[in-house]
Structure 1
Amino acid sequence: MKKNLSILFALIGWFAVLSQLYLALQNRATPVPEALVRFFSYFTILTNTLVASYFTAQTTTNDKISFFNRKGSLSAITVYILVVGIVYQVALRSIWNPEGLQKITDELLHTVIPVLTLVYWYLYEKKNQLTWQLLPAWLTYPAVYLVYIMIRGHFSGFYPYPFVNVAEIGYGQTAINSLGVLLLFVVLSSGLILIKRIF
């Protein structure tokens, strides 16, 4: 059952990421190299790629050597993709209205895959894999991501999300928004640890 779900979820994940890449290149307003850099500057894309890679690893690698089978890795990835889904539903869904393949891809990336990952986590994460000491390490990925988009945005003028667009909302509001998202990471991480420790 676990392997079958991993295969199915990996296929869904790669379809969503590759479909979004196709659409991004088809609708690009910049040269291909810049379009690719911008594509991989979205936390949504990076995290969905991480999720797809995780599920792929569950079907092809040895549990003892796989990076994705380190203690707490499934919970960390689940937190990341849940943030993708929640932030999109709360802050981004209302600002555009995709159609056709873009709508399908959009729902997969921001709704379906977060839910599937949470279900997989509930079924297969082990209680003894989770400790409070893991929480700071889980925050490394989003922290590095924020530093990257701030530095690149400063030099390129491109910020992937409106709530971190320093050019439009300023550093003060960007800092407030970033702290809000960081709090969401902490709350979700703590929640997953508590759920597994209780149940």
Structure 2
Amino acid sequence: MKKILAFSFAAIGWFAIVAQYVLMLGNRVTSVGEATIRFFSFFTVLTNIWVALYFSFRVFGTKHRKSSIHSGGTLTALTVYITVVGLGYQILLRHLWNPTGLQWLVDELLHSVIPILVILYWYGYERTTDIHFRQITGWLLYPFVYLIYVLIRGSYSGFYPYPFVNVIHLGLIQVLINSFLFALVFVVISCAFVGLGRKIGR
């Protein structure tokens, strides 16, 4: 059952990612190269790719329990990231546009369905006795590196994937304040999952 779920979630994830890329190319107003770079500049896309890779390795990768894919905390970190994706979209971004057709389906998969599926998988299969609060600091490295990348590239390209990191419109100080608040959200959600996991104690 575990492997079937992992295969199904990987398939859903890759479908949504590839479909989103095709749709973005079809609606691009820049070159294919620039559109591709912008595609991989969205935290949503990158995180969903990590999730799809995780479930793919669960199906086709090594079964060695010491592998990083099986180590305690890997699934929890991914669950934190994709939860932030889901909540951030529902609270801050959903009202900004109204997609239809295939774009609506892909949008819901990336921001709503996949986050819920990952949370359910985490609840059912994470080795929660192997996760600890001290791991949270390491989990913040990915969003921190992402933020640095977005700010550096945006400074010379003028493209910022999300309005709350748009230095042109908000100014650097406000973007840094927004980023700090997001860091707090990451920490709070991470603590919630670790705390719940320790209570589950599986």
TM-score class, shorter-chain normalisation, is: over 0.9
Which amino acid in 2 is paired with 1:20? Q
User: Alpha-carbon deviations, 1:141-198, whole Å to 9, x = none?
Assistant: 0000000000000011000000000000111211111111111110111001000111
1:132 Cα shift? 1.6
Shift of 1:100: 0.5
Residues of 2 paired with 1:101 and 1:67: CA distance? Answer: 35
Distance 1:60 1:45 in 2: 22
* Separation in 2, partners of 1:193, 1:80: 13
Matched residues, percent identical?
A: 51
Number of the residue aligned with 2:194: 193
TM-score between the two structures when normalised by the length of structure 1: 0.98
Give the Cα–Cα distance (whole angstroms) in 2 for the partners of residues 162 and 118 of structure 1.
27
The alignment of Structure 1 onto Structure 2 pairs a total of residues equal to 199
The residue type paired with residue 174 of structure 1 is V
Residue 2 (structure 1) aligned with residue 39 (structure 2): no
Structure 2 gaps, min length 5: none
What CA deviation, in whole Å up to 9, does each residue of 1:78-102 have, x standing for no partner?
A: 0000000000000000000001000
Bigger drift between 37-46 and 57-66 goes to: 57-66
Partner in structure 2 of residue 121 of structure 1? 122
Q: Which residue of 1 aligns with 2:22?
A: 22
Letter matched to residue 122 of structure 1: Y
Displacement of 1:70 in angstroms is 2.7
One-letter code aligned to 2:170: I
Note the aligned Cα RMSD (angstroms).
0.9
Maintained 8 Å contact 1:57/1:66: no
The reply to whether residue 42 of structure 1 matches residue 42 of structure 2 is yes
Which runs of no fewer than 5 residues in structure 1 stay unpaired? none
TM-aligned CA deviation for residue 133 of structure 1? 1.6
Range that drifts further, 54-63 or 115-124: 54-63
Aligned partners of 1:57 and 1:66: how far apart in 2? 10
What residue number does 1:165 align with? 166
Deviation, 1:66, is 4.0
TM-score, normalisation: structure 2: 0.96
Whole-angstrom distance in 1 between the partners of 2:72 and 2:123: 15
